[in-house]
Structure 1
Amino acid sequence: MTRSTISKCKYGYVFLCTFLFASIFLMYLQKEQYPFQILQMLKPILNNVENSTRLNTTISKTPLTHLMTTTSKTPSSSLKAILSKTPSTRLTNTSLEKWRGRLKYLCVSLIGRLGNQMFIFASGLGIANINNMSMVVQEGIEHLQSVFDIHNTEKNKKLCKNAKAKYHRKASAFDPRLFNISNIDTVHVGHYLQSYKYFEHIYDEIRSQFTFKKEIKDKADKILKNIVEKHRKVNNASLNWTLVGIHVRRGDMVNHNYGYTVATKEYFVKAKQWFQSHYTNVIFVVASNGLQWCKDNISDNSTYFINGNSAGEDMAILSSCEHLISSVGSYSWWSGFLCRGNVTYYFPPARENSGLRKAYSADYMDYFQPKWIRL
């Protein structure tokens, strides 16, 4: 046997061992083989590789007859014994599918209106990221997809049908238990999840997911441009201005008995004064579900009101401003998050001793971002 032939055998053994290691690793993942069984399977192959290496280093000193005897101990018999096992223990398409099936999933259902759905989606992504899981939307993704360029998101109602429930303790407070659920194959984490702490470690990903669709962003930019042009003509304003959005949540919250508070006239006046004292040529842009109240209480020559838009379009307008005066509710929260500038918020968002108050942490700071300004 020539040196080149022996060298080829040696590399052949290495290739076979690599292939075998990959096969056995998949067997172990499928729990079809245990560690001690794997070692027994590897032993004859490793012995043959060792013999091959020793043979190559001693070829010049070994008689041809001895070489023939040594090289006749090929791994073919051991390898055939292993590869002839049942199909379930071999590297087949079936075993690969089973291996993929061992991936773990976190399921969310997007309920409520825009702000609520954004919290569930963002928190679901953050919790899945921490637990090394893939987030799957069980239902309700259509609304978000109509407003934002949502990407890399799977909808699979069937997959989530038998998911184990692991719900948070409070709707608007962080529950650290949800960062330790990686031992569950498929889990549903419930609704609301209204705490930035669930997703603060992936803020860039959240902002990317909540990129407004082009037609919505274009409309928002056009509306703001028209407001600025009108303000400049009427007030002979300079080319330098500061856009501050104002979101006023009233409507359904005014007479709600669950414990919601409604931002007062005094709050909005104080917030407007704060921005006017910190910036020059401030233009306020108001979006509200109680527009008449706004016109009656916070109107002046630097304030403009928008109406006739969808919830997504109004949020795009507010978040395109440099800063925001928020009120209460998840819609206001997300408008502030997406605008990136200074954000003021009304405090407290819930009446003491109410059902809603119990949904927050003791100091409310699992909900409000630390950098926001409390007024």
Structure 2
Amino acid sequence: MMFQNVSQNEDYELFKAIRSSKGLWTISPVGRLGNQMGQYATLFALARLNSKQAYIFPAMANYLSQNFKITLSTLHQEVKDKIPWKNYHLSDWMEEKYKHISGDYIKFSGYPSSWTFYHHIWEEILCEFSFHEFTTKEVTLYLQKITARRQNITYIGIHVWRGDYLHVMPQKWKGVIGDLKNYLAQAMSYFRNKYKDAFFIVVSNGIDRCSENIDASKGDVYFSGDGNESKPHRDFAILAHCNHIIMTIGTFGFWAAYLAGGKAVYLSNFTLPSSPFLNVFKYEATYRPEWIGIDANLSPLLVKTLKI
């Protein structure tokens, strides 16, 4: 890849090459898998839109390439430190000004998580996030194994995020993360009514909590995944290889639904109208218009507000 194994004697030629290029843009990798997928896709799209060359840092390359056959070249750390970067913070959704960004050495920051940045080139984005063949083979065998006695299965992946939002959402953002029993029961009923062969694969970093609250008495629910937040790649691959997705909150579920390409059910209106979260988040910019939203139960927040 370009700009690797750079010595001091090559500095001059290196910068000559950079100056003669169409620019060099990158993005600071922060957050977990869903966040970095959003950052990668946004960088890919904005660089293309502005006729610039996009590069990623080794940390992002190592993280994402565990699952995907990404194609952006890696920018070596020693080169990164010598580039005269112009820092550019991105909102979570696409804005008109992002079509006309000036500067050859842009380093984006933020948590862009909206399809509005890249859906116009969605086929290329799906190619960037195509799984390694060995991953697809392993997941396919796994799904076949857990449904060995069933025929013509429609796999419904369920992602339940049990992390920092448990406390941050109600305390800071005046929102909820979804009632495990009621919300998921509604979403599962939708798919049970639509597909007679529906089979649900639950993936979560709180799988024990899920098994306590999700009704598996019909024999069509399987609790999967090890919940290891530091190594989420297998859990994500399982979800993305399902036919359809049910998500709670978070970019992990969004990207699983985007790659799966089927129907998706999401938790909608999960904050009070006065929530400051709505200053940095837009439902219409996060969830695809063809996806199905189920309104959250905000009564716990309303009761708390009345008590105050």
CA contact (8 A) 2:93 2:117 kept: no
Any runs of at least 4 consecutive aligned residues in structure 1 with deviations exceeding 3 A, and if so which?
97-100, 349-355
Equivalent in the alignment of 1:175: 95
- Which structure has more RCO (C-alpha within 8 Å, separation ≥ 6)? 2
Aligned residue type for 2:111: Y
The superposition leaves residues 69-102 of structure 1 with CA deviations (integer Å, 9 ceiling, x where unpaired) of xxxxxxxxxxxxxxxxxxxxxxxxx9xx569624
- Could you say which structure has the higher strand fraction? 2
Structure-2 change in CA distance of 1:277 and 1:208 (3 Å): same
User: 1:151 aligns to what SS in structure 2?
Assistant: coil
Equivalent in the alignment of 1:19: none
Identity of aligned residues (%): 26
Aligned residue type for 1:344: V
Q: State the 1:354 CA deviation.
A: 3.7
Q: State the 1:333 CA deviation.
A: 0.6
User: 2:26 aligns to what SS in structure 1?
Assistant: strand
Equivalent in the alignment of 1:277: 193
C-alpha distance in 2 between matches for 1:99 and 1:112: 29
Q: 2:153 aligns with which of 234, 241, 246?
A: 241
Q: State the 1:186 CA deviation.
A: 1.4
C-alpha distance in 2 between matches for 1:214 and 1:98: 36
The superposition leaves residues 181-239 of structure 1 with CA deviations (integer Å, 9 ceiling, x where unpaired) of 1x31111221211111111122111111112223332221121111111xx2xxxx5x2
Structure-2 change in CA distance of 1:286 and 1:359 (3 Å): same
Equivalent in the alignment of 1:155: 75
- Counterparts of residues 103-252 of structure 1 (less than 5 Å): 103-138=22-57, 140-141=59-60, 142-157=62-77, 158-159=79-80, 161-168=83-90, 170=91, 172-181=92-101, 183-229=102-148, 232=149, 237=150, 239-252=151-164
Whether 1:292 aligns to 2:213 is no
Q: 1:321 aligns with which of 237, 242, 247?
A: 242
Q: State the 1:154 CA deviation.
A: 3.0
TM-score of the superposition, structure 2-length normalised?
0.80
Q: State the 1:138 CA deviation.
A: 3.7
Aligned residue type for 2:153: W
Structure-2 change in CA distance of 1:251 and 1:107 (3 Å): closer
CA contact (8 A) 2:54 2:72 kept: no
Max Rg structure:
1
Paired positions, count: 269
Task: Give the superposed CA RMSD.
Answer: 2.2
C-alpha distance in 2 between matches for 1:321 and 1:107: 32
Q: State the 1:350 CA deviation.
A: 4.3
Give unpaired runs (5+ residues) of structure 2: 1-12, 295-308
User: 1:148 aligns to what SS in structure 2?
Assistant: coil
Equivalent in the alignment of 2:223: 305
Whether 1:263 aligns to 2:178 is yes
Give unpaired runs (5+ residues) of structure 1: 1-93
C-alpha distance in 2 between matches for 1:116 and 1:153: 19
CA contact (8 A) 2:56 2:74 kept: yes
C-alpha distance in 2 between matches for 1:346 and 1:283: 20
The superposition leaves residues 133-173 of structure 1 with CA deviations (integer Å, 9 ceiling, x where unpaired) of 111114522111222122242324425742112222x3x33
User: 1:140 aligns to what SS in structure 2?
Assistant: helix
Aligned residue type for 1:147: N
Equivalent in the alignment of 1:348: 269
Structure-2 change in CA distance of 1:252 and 1:99 (3 Å): closer
- Could you say which structure has the higher helix fraction? 1
The superposition leaves residues 274-314 of structure 1 with CA deviations (integer Å, 9 ceiling, x where unpaired) of 01111121111100111122111113221001133741111
C-alpha distance in 2 between matches for 1:176 and 1:203: 19
Aligned residue type for 2:135: I
C-alpha distance in 2 between matches for 1:349 and 1:131: 35
TM-score of the superposition, structure 1-length normalised?
0.67
User: 2:285 aligns to what SS in structure 1?
Assistant: coil
CA contact (8 A) 2:244 2:260 kept: yes
Structure-2 change in CA distance of 1:99 and 1:263 (3 Å): closer
CA contact (8 A) 1:173 1:193 kept: yes
User: 1:147 aligns to what SS in structure 2?
Assistant: coil
CA contact (8 A) 2:56 2:72 kept: no
C-alpha distance in 1 between matches for 2:85 and 2:209: 46
C-alpha distance in 2 between matches for 1:99 and 1:332: 38
Q: State the 1:243 CA deviation.
A: 0.9
User: 1:254 aligns to what SS in structure 2?
Assistant: helix
